[in-house]
Structure 1
Amino acid sequence: MFVTGLVLAAGASVRLGEAKQLLPYRGRTLLDATLDVARSCGFDQLLVTLGGAAGPVRDRVDLRGVQVIENRDFSTGCGSSISTAVRAVDPRADGLVLLLGDQPGVRAADVRRVASTRTALAVCRYQDGLGHPFRLGREVFADLHDLHGDKAVWKLLHSGRHPVTEVPVDGPVPIDVDTRADYERLLAGEAR
């Protein structure tokens, strides 16, 4: 199976008030930590979408081995990042795995389990609910071209148009950083 990983990191961080991709985390940046997880997953192709802070991110984040996709419509939500990036997915790809650039606590082993599913859609089933990463099979790629808004992939998941596999994952949904309080919770969890 040929699998493409896509790290969504184009947001403008409006709720946080600064580029969350560049927040300090483990001696580097939040996006560096997420890209490290993505690199360890063994994807055949790895993409990252940039938008709101593209210039500073390019200057400060290690983007080696990653194909950068610029999303000029980043302010319309992550659906636009997915619809922009799907055009760059290798034609050999059987699936696309979505990771959030602000969610460094996702474990590579869980990503690989989601990536290995064979249904059209797969999502992690954590102890407290569904969460990223998602796997989108080639049979749904056509649907991805028209995504828009922030919850577009969730709407596709719950549309009933495609079979969905829920992959059981131990623990709660990993923190994704949208606010200062989220970031503080992430850092507090690391300190334990």
Structure 2
Amino acid sequence: MANVAAILLAAGNASRMGAPKQLLDYGGRPLLRHAAETALASGCSKVIVVLGAKAGAVAPALDGLPVVTVVNPRWDEGMGTSIQAGLRAAAAASAEAVILMLADQPLISAGFLDRLIGIHTDAGQAIVAARYAGTAGVPALFARQYFDDLEALRPAQGCKAVIQANEGNACLVDCPEAEFDVDTPDDYQRLQTLAGAK
């Protein structure tokens, strides 16, 4: 199995939610813990969680889980800084590739993460990303050859810039589940409705 590290981005301050969305209840667990457990259930060899805003309040949601926690002091400058904070931890762990994922995409499954890893290892794809709502984005796998490109992101940029700049080397995998993220109280209400319907 390839040495693929999951980088779980959870540093934002959830300004549109009005409270730390990492701690919102989903199925009896905080949203952040659900995402971390999803990553741990996949074939990723290491799970790195990048915290930032309210890190002290959010970190206990991960108690007892075998994850590496990184606090990004520059979280308020944008997602690019959190990607880079996680990437440095992954590189230190000799990761051959990383999967970037968000704490607020609760419908993403461990099976989908494994599908990204499988396409990378079996077909040699250096970038494998989710395709949804007419775009491409996270969860997204990047092989080590693209670590420098991720390190070069401007603070406010996300990884979509690297995907778009290397479309010829990217494999996009349909993932309608990635379209759903929890940014607002209305989103959270929809999530609760979905969870209740299961």
TM-score by structure 1 length? Answer: 0.90
CA distance in 1, matches of 2:129, 2:21: 24
Partners of 2:70 and 2:64 lie apart in 1 by 11
> Structure 1 CA distance, aligned partners of 2:51 and 2:151?
18
Q: Is the 8 A contact 2:4 2:45 kept in 1?
A: yes
CA 1:127 to 1:10, structure 2 compared with 1: closer, same or farther past 3 Å? Answer: closer
Q: 1:95 aligns with which of 69, 78, 97?
A: 97
Aligned to 1:154: 160
Please tell me whether the aligned partners of residues 33 and 61 of structure 2 are also in contact (alpha carbons under 8 angstroms). Answer: no
Question: Is 1:186 paired with 2:191?
Answer: yes
Partner AA of 1:47 in structure 2:
I
Contact 1:15 1:179 in 2 (8 A): yes
The structural deviation recorded for 1:119 is 2.1
- TM-score normalised by length of structure 2: 0.88
Select between 156-165 and 11-20 the one with higher mean Cα deviation.
156-165
- 1:119 paired with 2:125, answer yes
Percent identity (aligned): 31
The amino acid that maps onto 1:50 is L
Query: What's the offset of the Cα at 1:52?
Result: 0.3
Root mean square deviation of aligned Cα: 1.9
**Which runs of no fewer than 5 residues in structure 1 stay unpaired?**
none
3-state SS of the aligned residue for 2:76?
helix
1-structure distance, mates of 2:162, 2:95: 20
Q: Which residue of 1 aligns with 2:147?
A: 141
> Taking structure 1 as reference, are residues 58 and 78 closer, same or farther at Cα in structure 2, changes over 3 Å only?
same
TM alignment of 1:66-77, pairs within 5 A: 66-77=67-78
Q: What is the one-letter code of the residue matched to 2:162?
A: L
State the distance in 2 between where 1:61 and 1:91 align.
20
Q: Alpha-carbon deviations, 1:7-56, whole Å to 9, x = none?
A: 00011111111100011111121111111101100211110000002001
Give the match's secondary structure for 1:13.
coil
Give the drift of 1:103. 1.2
Q: Among residues 115, 133, 138, which one is paired with 1:132 in the alignment? A: 138
Conserved 8 A contact 2:32-2:61: no
How far is the alpha carbon of 1:126 from its aligned partner? 4.1
Task: Give the C-alpha shift of residue 130 in structure 1.
Answer: 3.2
Aligned length: 191
